[in-house]
Structures are given as C-alpha cells and as structure tokens.
C-alpha cells in the first residue's frame, strides 16, 4: 500500500492511519479470547499501522509531514469492548506517542484521535458489531444502538458523527496544528469521565 502511494503521489505529506476493528470477537471475556483473536486484533489495530508508517516515514521526513492515527476511546476505557481490541488500541496510542518523541525533533508531527461510538456501519449495519452486540444481549438492533450513548455515559446523549471525527483529523493534519504533537484528541461525546 505504501509503495503504491509513493509511486502515484511522488511522496506523502500526510498519513492518516484509519484502520481498525476485527471481524471476529467474543463477548465471553478474557478466558474465552483465544490467541488467534489476540493476534488478529493486534494485526488489524496495530501492526498494519506500524508497517504503513514505517514505509512512508522517509517521505514524511523529507516533507515535514504529519501522521494521525485513529484509535478508540477503548484505549482509555478497555472494559468497554472486547479485551483484545482495547489492548491493541492502547498499544496504538503508545506507538503514536513514541513516534512523536522520536520524529518530532525531525519535523514530523504524530497525533492520535480516539473516537467513541460513531454512527457508522460498524454500529448500524445488520451484520456489524452493533448488531452482534444487540443479539448477544437479546435486544432489537435499532433499540440497542439507540441506547449506546446512555450506556456509554456520553454527555451529548448521541453517537459521534463521522464528520466530527474527520474534522479533528483534518485539523491535526493541517499547518494550523503545527505545535500539536504527541496528543490524543478524544471525540467521544463526553464518555470518558477522567481528566
């Protein structure tokens, strides 16, 4: 993927790592979470980002670029989702912070955006994560999704809109955020209650 971007674009100024999720998960807790699920979650939620970033970093260094990793509020509240997912997203946050320390002095800013439940297919599709959670809890899918903001303690009382996350990503990638690096911006409707 990185080689194709370099070939087509001739270089990269901005890298947004917006990869995540996992098709397989269990809601039965740690003891039911197999090594295969752990490996899959880390592959999707961390290692893909590591590989693409490694491939594109020389171009970002040449151009004084910016990296934005899209994580999850589950990195800060690991009990809100499958255990392996929260752990992988926490690792992604640590990865971004470490990169910001190493490459910030060389002109590359690295930041993270951690959304909460966002009104996307993951929650709304009939075969998505939200539908599977609804089924596991014996609740109608539409009713389950409508109750997510309350269940997650979201102060706004609604799910995050995709454009709200995109706006923060665009800001962090822009020159308007030239002094922002190593930060983790949460866009989670007030669901994280700690400072």
Residues forming the active site = 85
d(CA 72, CA 82): 12
| Neighbour count for residue 175 (Cβ, 10 Å) | 8
Q: At 73, list the tokens.
A: 């509020």
Give the closest residue to 187 by CA, choosing from 72, 49, 19. 72
d(CA 173, CA 169): 6
d(CA 120, CA 39): 25
Beta bridge partners of 160: 118
Per-residue H/E/C for 92-155? HHHHHHHHHHHHHHHCCEEEEEEECCECCHHHHCCCCHHHHHHHHCCCCHHHHHHHHHHHCCCC
* Cβ neighbours of residue 55 closer than 8 Å, sequence gap 6 or more: 1, 2, 3, 6
């Amino acid at each position: 993927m990185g080689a194709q971007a370099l070939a087509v674009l001739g270089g990269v100024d901005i890298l947004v790592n917006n990869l995540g999720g996992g098709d397989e998960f269990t809601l039965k807790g740690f003891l039911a979470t197999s090594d295969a699920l752990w490996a899959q979650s880390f592959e999707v939620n961390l290692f893909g980002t590591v590989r693409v970033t490694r491939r594109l970093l020389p171009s970002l260094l040449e151009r004084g670029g910016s990296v934005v990793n899209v994580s999850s509020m589950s990195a800060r509240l690991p009990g809100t989702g499958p255990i392996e997912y929260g752990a992988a997203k926490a690792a992604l946050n640590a990865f971004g912070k470490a990169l910001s320390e190493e490459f910030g002095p060389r002109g590359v800013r690295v930041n993270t955006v951690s959304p909460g439940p966002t009104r996307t297919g993951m929650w709304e599709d009939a075969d998505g994560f939200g539908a599977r959670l609804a089924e596991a809890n014996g609740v109608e899918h539409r009713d389950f999704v409508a109750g997510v903001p309350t269940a997650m303690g979201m102060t706004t009382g609604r799910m995050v809109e995709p454009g709200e996350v995109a706006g923060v990503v665009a800001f962090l990638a822009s020159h308007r955020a030239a002094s922002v690096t190593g930060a983790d911006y949460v866009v989670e409707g007030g669901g994280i209650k700690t400072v």
